[in-house]
Structure 1
Amino acid sequence: MAAKKRNAQSTDASNGKSSSSKATNRPKLSGKAKSKDDEHSKRNANSVLYKICLFALALVIGFCHRNHIANMFERDRHFSHLSTLERELAFRTEMGLYYSYYKTMIESPTFTDGLYQVMNDNITEFPLTINTLKRFNLYPEVALAIGYRAYEAINAAFNRPTKMCWRVNRGEGLSPVQSCEGLGEPSYFYVEHVFILNGMMMSIFFLFGTYLSGSMFGGILTVASFFFNHGEATRVQWTPPLRESFAYPFLVIQMFLVTHLLRTSAPTFKHSLPIAIATILFMLPWQFAQFALLTEMIAVFATYVLGYIGSRKMKVFLLGIGSGFIVSYVLLFGNEMLLTSFFFSGLLTITSIVYIEPVLETLRIRPLIWISQGAMLGVGTVGFKFVVAKLFSIEDDAHIGDIFRSKFSDFKNFHTMLYTCAAEFDFMEAETPGRILKTLLAPAVLIVLVTVTYQLLKTEYNAWVKTSSEPGKDLQTDIPNRSKPNAEVVYHFFQLIAFTMMAVIIMRLKLFWTPHLCLMTSLLASRQFFGWLGSKEKQYAILTALLAGMTVQGLSNLQHQWSILGEFSNMPLEELVEWTKAKTPTNAVFAGPMPTMATIKLCTGRPIVNHPHYEDAGLRERTKKVYTMYSRKPLAEVKKNLLALQADYAILEDSWCVRRSRQGCSMAEIWDIEDEENRGETTPACTKMKDNPGPHFKTVFKNNVYQVLKVLK
């Protein structure tokens, strides 16, 4: 036998085969392996091709959205044919204030000189010196100023022109102006990057919807819903420099990363890093980011409380947003509003609750644990917030609590009325639900909510029945790493509830609500939740019919947006600016309505005492003193307040004196809430200043809208 084996081995060797007796079977195994490898390679190739198509389509969608908003902006203002001054005048209120710092940084001799001026500004709240980078979240302007200066320097080195200029005849007796187009024009460079960023946001929304639903059709539904409800979902096409234009795209990315974290079976703390980066990029451009992050944190916490995720996954999430908060706080030079925010106090409270999980689990009765967690969340969040505010004597965000208080009670004061009399801070418009009903967005989301809730409850019931039938079996023995399917969907349900409440209370916050409704429509393409409709082909046929139904009103909405045509012109304001530059000293100090003050600072560089960024307690009191011009107080007191602010000129805007958006919202009526002493006076101070300003003031400029009064000292 041994000899036979040796002979066999020898024969195999002489034939060039392995000496092992098993080697004779290798060719057959290699054939099978090759077949499997080919099949695996084919699947990989299909997967790679699918991803390439997915990302290519995302880029196309982003490009289309960028063009959509850029073209609407152009048609609304005829921006390409405006002079530099007219473009600056078009950036009204806060927009002009933010743009002025970008202008400072690109016009200064060096970038560091410009940055120093922004961080040591004594023009915005004269005579105070403030760090506007800290106060106004100006990191977008810093980044754009760096980009613009680099762009100009590189093109100058290659002797390439960056803009094209021509003279525009404005007609109607107006002087011709020079108009320039191209990225070398500062305003073009600024708005173009806003539009590119928001084009990218639409690409992310497409990928987000695809990921959440598991189908490219889900991404298409998300994007189509957004376009069809564009007027309810964003205002970037009208107001590029606002903080939300820079910040919101990064919230979308951040929520995408959180969704991925919740779906990942065994996340590590490496998942915290991208969440932290996205959180920083969301917080740095916008003070309001803290409120959106608070709702997100509570939504994820609710998902944790219901047992869909364990404490380990919760800790990864908290580390991400906590790290983002700390870095943002440092980069914003210790911004006090972050320190006293409900987001920070909620972060401390929820982190504490998660870390004492072993103690709470000893209660054993799940509803009792929920009640304990809820009570700790409420008491801890409010308690931490007020302790920190009192400890550091910070009242910058006190007006936010007053605004919410005024929404649900008869409480009113001067500052809350300035907010609530503005349409964007009022309750949601009654027409809004009707608009999203006509595009079938509301019915589609309602179907998603009902169907998915039913299936989630059914799954929970089946799990409860299984546990009850096997008393000795605990399905969640590993509490820190516990996990249930669809945690990310549960999170988005809670997030939608939070955004709905925000939008109902403050109309402006539709910015968060409508896009999230669009995202939720993606779940209609989910085979997991809507596989009961039949085959994939049948489900997609139904969704195609739904998409066609959405298109009826959606296309009408788009055509309405495309039909908006205008040409910016504001001659009264232009006259005021030109007079100010020609007839007043460069150190002359101005006071007046907040929107106009932003324009005076941007276009003339003159010092101002108040401005539209109302998120500071000191600034609110300064503005209140200036606005005594529109009260019923005697002119002597108005003059005293302006002199106390060291104002040389007061700008009186006629519309502020007479306008009344609704009952109780004229400036005189707003002042009547607090100024009981002068309620009986029938003639407001602004009317007296306009008709007979002496002996306290002297009219030095007047047109059909504006009147400039010199404060006589």
Structure 2
Amino acid sequence: MTRGFDGSKTICAVAVSAWIAARAAILFFSHAPEDASERFQSENAFYFSFYRQLVAGEQISRLIADPLSEAPATVPALRRFNIYQELCFGLLYRGLQFFPGTLMSPATFYCLCVFVVYGFGLLAFFSMLGSAAEVVLAGALYVSGLEECTHVAFMPPLRENCAMTFWFVSLWALQDLHKKQAKADFALTAGLRFLLSVTMFVLLWQFACFALLLQAFALYAMLLLGLLEASFVAWASRLHACGTLLASLLRLGDTWPLRSPFFSLAVAFSMCKGRCSAVLCGGLALLLHRLVACEDDAHIQDFLRYRLQAILHTVGDKPPPVASYHAALYAGQRSFSSPQLAELRRPLLYAGLLGIASFRPRFEHQLQSLLALATAPLYLLMMRYQMLFFPQMVLLGGSCATFLPPWLRLPLAMGVFALSEGSVPWRGQASAFLEDKVERDVLMSWIRNYTAPEDVIISGMGVSALVRLHALRGIVCHPHYESAQLRERCFWADKLHGHRTLEEYHAIIRQRLLPGFNGRAFVAVSVKDCFSVNEAGQVVSGLVEVDEPWRRTRPKTCDLLYQLAAKKGLGFQPRWLGRWFALLEFLPGGVGQPLQFSQATRCAFGRYLYEEKGDAMAAEHFQKIGQSWRKLAPACGCAAELFGPAQDIHIAHSWAVEEERRGFGCCPMSPKFSTCLSDKAFRLLRQGQSPALAELYFQKAAELAPSSPKAHGFLGFARLQAGMALEAQQSFQRALQLEETPTDTTKCGEALSRVSLGQLAGARLALKELPSCRQHLQG
């Protein structure tokens, strides 16, 4: 009877985990571009670049002595970074190339490996439950809170998706270890599984020691509460310590895991004989760790201190906290802030709380409850910890299936799973075709073709990671932030987006970033990063100068560097220019010459001035073109005349349409094309031009986006202003058909068109339903 029961649980665990992993993979690949690596940004791009090096045939020695990641220095990448998953996947891909047959692309293979490993992690996760009904119910809760349990909804190959697999395996092995010890069974297999899971977890994720610290604290709390024997805690702690030591050896002697408080406590708990000795050993271990703690994790401590001070300021009379630069960077990200009440998954929370309330004398239930209680305050402090908190709530909620009659458990759990799956939309993150992405590829190609392998590129962390991936050139800064020395370099490199003069930034490169460097260096300017705003609505350039806020009134360094393309600049020579990027060579001495403008670069520079600096500077730039605007590409054919008489604007745009080229006016061909056309139309209206002229642009935007209710709504209001009441009514009615829930704005526009047509009865009905529309109707 028991054997059949275990079999049904295993079948359900395999089916549920395979379905969730396959679902995530289907969502990802259905929206991924032909080369899946095009989706990789920032940290993902940086790590994937090591995999691409291996696939390209480079030796592993390039990972042991890496000249690219922190140029011009050579760093041991295999020791400095968590790149064992790239190493394993890369070697596996190279091994499969010896077999006949067509192999998928390296990026697709990499992503597929991530989802396979993620699926095995889910299998270990659901195997921690006791019955098939619990597995299916937990699967339903997991699917309903997919975004919370996986950190992101559309599941790109984040590092956590591989690393969390071994977190789940460690918990599963820990349960098995306790079960074997309780039966006085020889637990070599369970102990080895636990040891290897701890080792792999530490190898793959830089935050693994923190998660394992929570696991050690949970065991420690169970010991103090009398729920565990001291011998088991000591045994598990020895395996914790040995796994960490093994990970340190596999990372070529990296001492980062050994300097964590987790390792100190694991060593201390491994020697405890009872509760009193555990308290004494744990206290001494934390004290010693505090005395020898290094500054590599100082940025995390600063941020946590800042978040606690912010909470105290909110609830009490404490002064507002002052954030350091790195704390401010974290604070500007949504995942590092506290969750809003509306964002909490109430069914999942209620199920988990019900599981905690039914505290049962089972080791696995007690461990899950204590881990949930330990991670809950961290999750309330910052959303990033939801990936540690919500899986515990899923397990606790799944265990609630035991409250039901045995004959009802599995059918009801399957029904709940079907409802959860039906309520979660099958949508991923579409890969947008953006103009700056196309230009980025051109820039990377230029760097590969016209710079030497020993040259160094200076930029922000995001662009630097892309340079390492796509151009294979040395960078001075990257997103792997777990080094105090690197954070100092990134701090000064980010002054590119601050408010320093060109002379000051030249000195920063010479004295702080590349002291004593005799090779060639280039500065890559990203316009989007230059004018970016973080998720908290803060201007990033202001955060860069948090140490010297008085500089914020000065011009931006990146803006000054971009505009050097048309000027002579002391210490910098422009080499390449586009609308979204610029590349300048760092000159140790001398004055750089202005860039020789081609038609494309002149157009890109003019668009930059127009869209970032205003009409006056753009008009001055285009004065030299005269009447040659007809020879320019349609994507910016109107730019030369955009600042002249109003009739010339319409002439230039009309000519561009007649040519049927790849653009309309100054709008680039991209997913934002129709939005750009609408912006041009609003600009004409603000300038007091004819509404009929603006209506042409709105009409073109609606033609390009026939399923967009917003485009048809804009067209309706433009037609109203142009006196085209009947056409306006048709546009509003089309917008109402396209909207899932008709908006008051569209209803109001439709009512206004009825008034213009003399259909007062329909307008009066809208007046009653839409109080906000009355003033427009009265007018």
> TM-score interval w.r.t. the shorter chain?
0.7 to 0.9
1:536 to 375, 398, 406: 406
Offset from partner CA, 1:451-499 (integer Å, 9 cap, x none) = x14xx5xxxxxxxxxxxxxxxxxxxxxxxxxxxx423322211101122
Q: Tell me if 1:432 matches 2:332.
A: no
1:380 to 251, 268, 284: 284
Give the SS at the match of 2:584.
Answer: strand
Q: Distance in 1 between matches of 2:107 and 2:552?
A: 48
Structure 2 equivalent of residue 242 of structure 1: 158
Structure 2 equivalent of residue 262 of structure 1: 178
- Aligned AA (1:683): P
Give the SS at the match of 1:712.
Answer: strand
Offset from partner CA, 1:601-632 (integer Å, 9 cap, x none) = 11111111111111111111111111111222
- Aligned AA (1:324): G
- Aligned AA (2:169): I
- Aligned AA (1:707): A
Compute the TM-score of the two structures, normalised by the length of structure 1: 0.74
Q: Tell me if 1:100 matches 2:45.
A: no
Aligned-pair CA distance for 1:448: 2.0
Offset from partner CA, 1:230-286 (integer Å, 9 cap, x none) = 122115775644321221111101101212333442456634322111111211111
Offset from partner CA, 1:326-360 (integer Å, 9 cap, x none) = 111211223232122121122233335x2365xx3
Structure 2 equivalent of residue 348 of structure 1: 267
Using CA pairs under 8 Å that are at least 6 residues apart, name the structure with larger relative contact order, 1 or 2. 1
1:419 to 312, 330, 333: 330
Q: Distance in 1 between matches of 2:68 and 2:428?
A: 41
Give the SS at the match of 2:270.
Answer: helix
Offset from partner CA, 1:565-597 (integer Å, 9 cap, x none) = 445552122122122223333332101011111
- Mapped contact 1:229–1:554 kept (Cα < 8 A): no
1:144 to 89, 107, 124: 89
Q: Distance in 2 between matches of 1:186 and 1:619?
A: 30
Structure 2 vs 1, CA of residues 257 and 245 (structure 1 numbering), >3 Å: closer, same or farther? same
Superposed counterparts of 1:626-641, under 5 Å: 626-641=493-508
Q: Distance in 1 between matches of 2:416 and 2:37?
A: 42
Q: Tell me if 1:222 matches 2:138.
A: yes
Structure 2 equivalent of residue 311 of structure 1: 230
- Mapped contact 1:405–1:411 kept (Cα < 8 A): no
Structure 1 equivalent of residue 380 of structure 2: 504
Over aligned residues, Cα RMSD in angstroms? 2.5
Offset from partner CA, 1:303-331 (integer Å, 9 cap, x none) = 11111111111122112212111111211
- Mapped contact 2:528–2:580 kept (Cα < 8 A): yes
Structure 2 equivalent of residue 404 of structure 1: 304
Structure 2 equivalent of residue 657 of structure 1: 530
Offset from partner CA, 1:427-457 (integer Å, 9 cap, x none) = 2344421xx11xx21222222222x14xx5x
Give the SS at the match of 1:710.
Answer: strand
Q: Distance in 2 between matches of 1:708 and 1:147?
A: 37
- Mapped contact 1:228–1:551 kept (Cα < 8 A): no
2:216 to 297, 307, 320: 297
Compute the TM-score of the two structures, normalised by the length of structure 2: 0.68
Q: Tell me if 1:667 matches 2:548.
A: no
- Mapped contact 2:500–2:556 kept (Cα < 8 A): yes
Q: Distance in 1 between matches of 2:155 and 2:493?
A: 26
Q: Distance in 2 between matches of 1:562 and 1:660?
A: 27
Give the SS at the match of 1:287.
Answer: coil
- Aligned AA (2:540): M
Q: Distance in 2 between matches of 1:200 and 1:133?
A: 25
Q: Distance in 1 between matches of 2:170 and 2:504?
A: 51
Q: Tell me if 1:189 matches 2:189.
A: no
Superposed counterparts of 1:596-611, under 5 Å: 596-611=463-478
Superposed counterparts of 1:5-404, under 5 Å: 46-77=1-32, 79=33, 82-83=34-35, 87-108=36-57, 114-153=59-98, 155=99, 160-163=100-103, 182=104, 185-209=105-129, 211=130, 215-235=131-151, 238=154, 240-264=156-180, 265-267=182-184, 270=188, 271-352=190-271, 354-355=272-273, 357=275, 360=276, 377=282, 379-389=283-293, 394-404=294-304
Superposed counterparts of 1:541-552, under 5 Å: 543-544=412-413, 548=415, 552=419
- Mapped contact 1:138–1:285 kept (Cα < 8 A): yes
- Aligned AA (1:651): A
- Mapped contact 1:699–1:708 kept (Cα < 8 A): yes
Structure 2 vs 1, CA of residues 681 and 344 (structure 1 numbering), >3 Å: closer, same or farther? same
Offset from partner CA, 1:357-416 (integer Å, 9 cap, x none) = 5xx38xxxxxxxxxxx66864x43432222333xxxx32222121111111121411111
Superposed counterparts of 1:473-492, under 5 Å: 485-492=361-368
Give the SS at the match of 1:704.
Answer: coil
Structure 2 vs 1, CA of residues 124 and 566 (structure 1 numbering), >3 Å: closer, same or farther? closer
Structure 2 vs 1, CA of residues 250 and 100 (structure 1 numbering), >3 Å: closer, same or farther? same
Q: Distance in 1 between matches of 2:250 and 2:290?
A: 24
- Mapped contact 1:121–1:132 kept (Cα < 8 A): yes
- Mapped contact 1:236–1:245 kept (Cα < 8 A): no
Q: Tell me if 1:493 matches 2:412.
A: no
1:711 to 586, 605, 621: 586
Offset from partner CA, 1:18-73 (integer Å, 9 cap, x none) = xxxxxxxxxxxxxxxxxxxxxxxxxxxx5444444443333333332232111111
Structure 2 vs 1, CA of residues 123 and 680 (structure 1 numbering), >3 Å: closer, same or farther? closer
1:443 to 346, 350, 358: 350
- Aligned AA (2:407): E
Aligned-pair CA distance for 1:194: 0.7
Structure 1 equivalent of residue 690 of structure 2: none
Structure 2 vs 1, CA of residues 122 and 296 (structure 1 numbering), >3 Å: closer, same or farther? same
Q: Distance in 2 between matches of 1:356 and 1:66?
A: 43
Give the SS at the match of 1:696.
Answer: strand
Q: Distance in 2 between matches of 1:565 and 1:666?
A: 27
2:443 to 564, 576, 583: 576
